[in-house]
Structure 1
Amino acid sequence: MSFDPQNLQDIIACPKTKTKLICDGDFLVSVDPATRLKYPIKDGIPVMLIDEATEVPQQEWADIMQRHNRHPETGELVS
């Protein structure tokens, strides 16, 4: 069974910060602006290990947040 981000969007969270994750391509990206972590999705399965996460550069993270209708500085959902 592969990962379906739409079905788990409300229950999956960053294992380090416990903040919401959004699916962006082959990664799950934390909405936490302090850590800006992204977790890979390999063969359809998210790798939710903190040691496997990488920090997203500030501008790239802001661009991801904007693509997902989130504030580029806070990660908060824009209404």
Structure 2
Amino acid sequence: MSNDTVDNAPVYDRKMLEALVCPHTQGTLRYDAERQELVSPGAKLAYPIRNGIPVMLVDEARRLEE
């Protein structure tokens, strides 16, 4: 069993995640482990994490429902 995953989801450095901000609003992000996304409530966008790498592009983000 690897120390890098929990329930098949990668474990991220909390300080690294806290340092990231939404490229659209510069606001804080919330990590959604289940969906492997970084959520920006202010922009109503969810940025995907692919292969352990956050994709911080507005064009790649999923729009959140109201």
Tell me the TM-score normalised to structure 2 length: 0.71
Root-mean-square deviation (CA), in Å?
1.9
- Kindly indicate which of the two structures has a greater share of residues assigned to helix: 1
Per the alignment, residue 30 of structure 1 pairs with 40
Q: Is the 8 A contact 1:12 1:21 kept in 2?
A: yes
Amino acid at match of 1:29: V
Q: Which of structure 1's runs of 4+ aligned residues deviate more than 6 A?
A: none
Matched, 1:6 2:5: no
Shift of 1:8: 1.9
Aligned sequence identity (%): 38
Amino acid at match of 2:49: I
Q: Identify unmatched segments of 5+ residues in structure 1.
A: 59-79
Bigger strand share? 2
Q: CA deviation at 1:50?
A: 1.1
**Aligned-partner Cα distance in 2 for 1:9–1:44:** 12
The number of residues matched between the two structures is 55
TM-score normalised by length of structure 1: 0.60
